[in-house]
Structure 1
């Protein structure tokens, strides 16, 4: 981790992420990265679970030949 910066979080959040990282046997940075990835994946899943627009349905039903 060559290039770093500081973010402000509450002491409670800091303690929780530090404890979680220790339980997972990883660094705080790795734990935060996993959390960010999980949030990103959750957003993608919500988008995919939504109703398709009429244009998307038409595109999916289009003849590929």
Structure 2
């Protein structure tokens, strides 16, 4: 999948770059798209972690408040 987009450079160590290239090949995509997928997965993990955090007292009170 070729996507035309603006780009920038990110410095990573050679071992990580080799892993990215291997993963990209396995996924039949580009290294850039593989990084995009990895960032998305990390963001989703963070959202999941945030959702597992217990509510604060003020959040619980707001959710329990009457609507009238």
What's the TM-score once normalised by structure 2's chain length?
Answer: 0.88
Q: 5+ residue gaps in structure 1?
A: none
Q: CA RMSD in A?
A: 1.0
Q: 1:59 aligns with which of 57, 62, 68?
A: 62
- Which protein has greater RCO, CA pairs closer than 8 Å, 6+ apart? 2
Q: 5+ residue gaps in structure 2?
A: none
Q: 2:40 aligns with which of 28, 37, 40?
A: 37
What's the TM-score once normalised by structure 1's chain length?
Answer: 0.91
Q: How many aligned positions are there?
A: 65
